[in-house]
Amino acid sequence: MEHIPNPNSVFIITNNCNKYILAKYNNYYTLCIIIGESKNSYRLLVCDKSNSKFIKKKIYTKKFIEYDKPYNLECNNRENTKFMVYCDFCEKNHKYHNLGNNSCKCNSNYSPYKKYGVNIIFKYKSFRECLLNNFKEYMRVYSNYYYYYYFVKFIDGNTFGEYGNNNFPYFNIKDVLNYINKYYKEDNKKMSNGGLSASIRKFIEMMKNNKLYLYNYTDNIEYYNVKNYYC
């Protein structure tokens, strides 16, 4: 779909000798017929009978497009149990509870997704992101949410040295505890009285339970390697 950044220039689609265009009217896009134009504005007739009036102003416009099947929209951002998908028609995020086929959430009846809906596809950018998103959700549901942030610091390769980053996601709890007690014992106490070591225990717990939302990493070799490690 093509967006027009300049309100003084538009794409016009001709159909049955009429010039149809989508224009923002009452904060949503609706179908209009261009019945007159000047250098800086268009005179539009709103096609919706309930809004049958002329409007004349500088308006942002879009092409009028209809897809003939569910349109694939890729999501790579989760907010707790919801999937956040950017809609290029509404120019904002929509929240979906389920992947796959979903009805359109646009506030205009002339959205290109209105008739057949959308197909939401979730993709992690990397296996690391996959595991961290899973751990964030695991902590939200089963434990202390702060543990997720402690764990992220442990593997960032900076706050607690390179150990966490170099060994992620393959952790041996005995080796990790020895490392923390040797170099960061006091820091561990300051983080919820042992929160750093507890966060790593929880990560290992999650991996051993193997209840992960994998999506595009279901058949990935990295997943099989880490799964076998924690068996």
pLDDT, tens digit (0-9, with 9 covering 90-100), for 125-174: 899 999 998 999 899 888 888 999 999 999 999 999 999 999 999 999 99
Of 2-6, 105-109, 112-116, which gets the smallest average pLDDT? 2-6
Q: What percent of the chain has pLDDT over 70?
A: 81
pLDDT of residue 67: 87
Answer yes or no: are the C-beta atoms of 42 and 25 closer than 8 Å: no
Answer yes or no: are the C-beta atoms of 159 and 153 closer than 8 Å: yes
Task: Compute φ and ψ for 36, nearest 5 degrees.
Answer: -175, 155
- The one-letter amino acid code at 8 reads N
pLDDT mean across residues, the chain: 82
Q: Cα–Cα distance between 112 and 92 in angstroms, integer?
A: 15
pLDDT of residue 41: 66
pLDDT of residue 16: 38
Q: What band does 92 get if pLDDT is binned at 50, 70 and 90?
A: confident
